[in-house]
């Protein structure tokens, strides 16, 4: 018997008790009231509501233990369905993961219908982790021990991730990337020492992350070199032409796309998910897509859903004024796309949303020198950290300082010193001559002596005295060659001895006309979701056994990143999304 996911028979659905328990066990956070959900309004500035779904049931609203955004909506009646379509696979969401899944399934001979709430497939940025193929080797990427990489990622995520999910990605990301890149006919590979292509007119793959491998005890963070990037004239979208080309490949193989039509509810037959109900944003009519082999949720994250963000990632929500939220995609009503649709629909279908702490990709690569490991002092003038960090960890650290304010301090030797810094997300290993010549323009203050530098920063007497003492201490440790205070490697301890001396002042969230700094951290996406097994099958609440017919990939899939996004290997997020789209589409085609 076909049922809506949230209105199952007693035998097919979780009991009321287990349904509530599943919601209550989602992780630490604040449980928002149903009244908050009812009163919230989804707007262009990123606030959100549950308006995407029909009115919530009174029974669910009455349960104070269930976050309001997880209260199941009333079933959409069969009489409201204007059209029913049949296919093998329904892909919900056409970002990187969804496009890859649609193409792989269609090329495998399956009939595919893809639902997308926006008018076109969406994407951003351009980096992908890729290794262990001939193409990767030709691009200068040494082979990666996937067990070693997965173990490091597990350590970085506090062993909350699923090693099987990460290992399945790591073992297949190279072949998946080759397939994805070649989805753009005639893609160019800018191999080291080969022809240099023109980004203004050509689309190509490059290796912008070729640097010294990780060295134990020298490098504070374990960073793996294995990243390729797409370059194209569409600089804003980065990989836009690649995603478009792969969607065209999917269509050529028979996939059908239905745009401006977000999914609203899943349809179940007993315990199995067998379809999706979606709603046109143009005329508000309902469409049901029945999927014989499976439904793949690829709706992205929930960074624009205030209630979900507050519940799962309060350290971002409580600091919203200090972030810029950069994922730009909106539907035709002007509402942002990333509202956690897949996580909520999967939960209503009995799926388990992984325990926290959930992960957001939040970057803190600020200013001309990025997060290079120069001396940093906080608003009290105190050194507060081993400065040898990549950008995600730097951003987290600065939020925990008084006033979210720090100073990055260096001397005239900075152009040579940057070459000693560990390469990774947000770091700089070279400085252009133009930047060297304009240093007075992009720094906050400079001086021919340390005293003059501090005076030009305009801090009070107590902070000034602390700054001078801390700089003297730092110089002492640099000369000694041992960082007794924070353990930074001696190769990155540079005494401030050569004038002029410079400082960049960062105050995250500050409203300023000062062009010398960027005073905002970037929050790109959330990266946690429905628990799955290594084949992307969504796991059920309570039992953690696979739900037949339901899959989650991309930022809807859990088991990948918890806490902070690890900077261990750049491009891991895109790579896992694309790889799991490729693997899941192929898996369903082979069943």
**Per-residue pLDDT tens digits for 248-280:** 999 999 999 999 999 999 999 999 999 999 999
Query: For 404-416, what is the mean pLDDT?
Result: 96
Query: For 1-18, what is the mean pLDDT?
Result: 38
Cα distance between residue 44 and residue 414, in whole Å: 42
Task: List alpha helices for 325-399, DSSP H.
Answer: 341-348, 391-398
Cα distance between residue 536 and residue 256, in whole Å: 22
Cα distance between residue 135 and residue 138, in whole Å: 5
Contact criterion met (CB below 8 Å) for 274 and 290: yes
How does strand 546-552 pair with strand 537-539?
antiparallel
Q: Report which secondary-structure segment, H or E, holds 536.
A: none
Banded pLDDT at 103 (limits 50, 70, 90): very high
pLDDT value at 25 more than 60 = no
pLDDT for the residue numbered 28: 31
Q: Could you report the per-residue pLDDT of 190-227, keeping only the tens digit for each?
A: 999 999 999 999 999 999 777 777 778 777 788 898 99
pLDDT value at 67 more than 70 = yes
Q: 179 versus 55: which is more confidently predicted?
A: 179
Report the length, in residues, of the chain.
Answer: 591
Contact criterion met (CB below 8 Å) for 431 and 415: yes
Q: In what order do the strands lie in the sheet with 375-378?
A: 375-378, 405-410, 501-507, 445-447
pLDDT value at 40 more than 80 = no
pLDDT value at 549 more than 80 = yes
* Angle in degrees, CA 456, 460, 466, rounded to 5: 90
pLDDT for the residue numbered 389: 86
Cα distance between residue 55 and residue 288, in whole Å: 19
Residue labelled with tokens 């799955």:
532
Banded pLDDT at 422 (limits 50, 70, 90): confident
Taking the chain, what is the end-to-end CA distance rounded to the nearest angstrom? 23
Nearest to 298 by CA among 96, 53, 72, 51: 96
Nearest to 357 by CA among 203, 161, 187, 520: 161
Task: List alpha helices for 313-458, DSSP H.
Answer: 314-317, 341-348, 391-398, 414-417, 433-437, 439-442, 450-457
CA atoms in the 13 A half-sphere facing the CB of 3: 18
Query: pTM score, two decimals?
Result: 0.87
Query: For 79-106, what is the mean pLDDT?
Result: 98
Q: Could you report the per-residue pLDDT of 486-496, keeping only the tens digit for each?
A: 999 999 999 99
Q: 393 versus 193: which is more confidently predicted?
A: 193
């Amino acid at each position: 018997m076909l049922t809506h996911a949230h209105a199952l028979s007693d035998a097919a659905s979780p009991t009321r008790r287990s349904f509530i328990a599943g919601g209550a066990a989602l992780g630490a956070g604040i449980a928002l009231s149903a009244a908050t959900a009812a009163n919230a309004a989804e707007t262009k500035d990123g606030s959100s509501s549950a308006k995407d779904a029909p009115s919530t049931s009174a029974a669910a609203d009455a349960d104070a233990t269930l976050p309001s955004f997880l209260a199941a909506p009333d079933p959409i009646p069969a009489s409201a369905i204007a059209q029913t379509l049949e296919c093998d696979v329904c892909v919900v969401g056409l970002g990187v993961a969804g496009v890859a899944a649609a193409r792989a399934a269609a090329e495998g001979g399956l009939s595919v219908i893809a639902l997308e709430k926006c008018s076109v497939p969406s994407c951003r940025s351009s980096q992908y982790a890729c290794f262990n193929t001939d193409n990767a080797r030709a691009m200068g990427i040494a082979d990666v021990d996937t067990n070693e990489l997965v173990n490091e990622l597990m350590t970085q995520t506090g062993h909350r991730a699923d090693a099987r999910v990460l290992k399945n990605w790591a073992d297949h990301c190279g072949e998946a990337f080759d397939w994805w890149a070649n989805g753009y006919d005639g893609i160019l590979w800018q191999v080291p020492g080969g022809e240099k292509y023109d980004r203004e007119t050509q689309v190509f793959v490059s290796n912008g992350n070729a640097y010294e491998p990780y060295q134990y005890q020298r490098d504070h963070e374990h960073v793996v070199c294995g990243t390729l990037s797409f370059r194209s004239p569409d600089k804003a979208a980065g990989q836009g032409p690649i995603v478009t080309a792969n969607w065209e490949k999917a269509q050529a193989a028979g996939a059908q796309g239905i745009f401006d039509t977000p999914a609203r509810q899943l349809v179940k037959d007993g315990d199995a998910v067998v379809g999706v109900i979606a709603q046109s944003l143009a005329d508000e009519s309902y469409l049901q897509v029945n999927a014989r082999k499976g439904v793949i949720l690829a709706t992205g994250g929930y960074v624009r859903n205030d209630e979900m963000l507050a519940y799962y990632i309060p350290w971002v929500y409580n600091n919203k004024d200090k972030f810029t939220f950069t994922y730009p995609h909106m539907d035709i009503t002007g509402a942002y796309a990333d509202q956690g649709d897949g996580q909520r629909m999967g939960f209503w279908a009995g799926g388990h949303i992984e325990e926290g702490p959930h992960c957001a990709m939040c970057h803190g690569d600020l200013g001309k020198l990025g997060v290079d490991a120069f001396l940093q002092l906080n608003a009290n003038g105190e050194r507060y950290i081993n400065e040898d960090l990549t950008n995600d960890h730097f951003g987290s650290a600065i939020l925990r300082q008084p006033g979210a304010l720090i100073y990055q301090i260096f001397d005239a030797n900075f152009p040579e010193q940057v070459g000693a810094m560990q390469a990774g997300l947000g770091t700089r290993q070279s400085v252009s001559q133009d930047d060297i010549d304009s240093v007075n323009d992009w720094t906050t203050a400079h001086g021919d002596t340390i005293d003059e530098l501090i005076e030009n920063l305009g801090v009070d007497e107590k902070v000034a005295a602390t700054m001078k003492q801390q700089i003297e201490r730092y110089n002492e440790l640099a000369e000694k060659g041992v960082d007794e205070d924070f353990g930074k490697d001696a190769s990155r301890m540079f005494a401030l001895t050569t004038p002029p001396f410079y400082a960049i002042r960062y105050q995250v969230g500050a409203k300023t006309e000062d062009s010398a700094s960027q005073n905002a951290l970037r929050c790109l996406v959330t990266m946690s979701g429905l628990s799955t097994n290594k084949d992307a099958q969504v796991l059920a609440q309570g039992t953690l056994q696979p739900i037949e017919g339901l899959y989650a990939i991309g930022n809807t899939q859990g088991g990948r990143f918890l806490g902070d996004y690890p900077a261990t290997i750049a491009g891991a997020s895109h790579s896992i999304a694309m790889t799991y789209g490729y693997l899941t589409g192929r898996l369903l085609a082979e069943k």
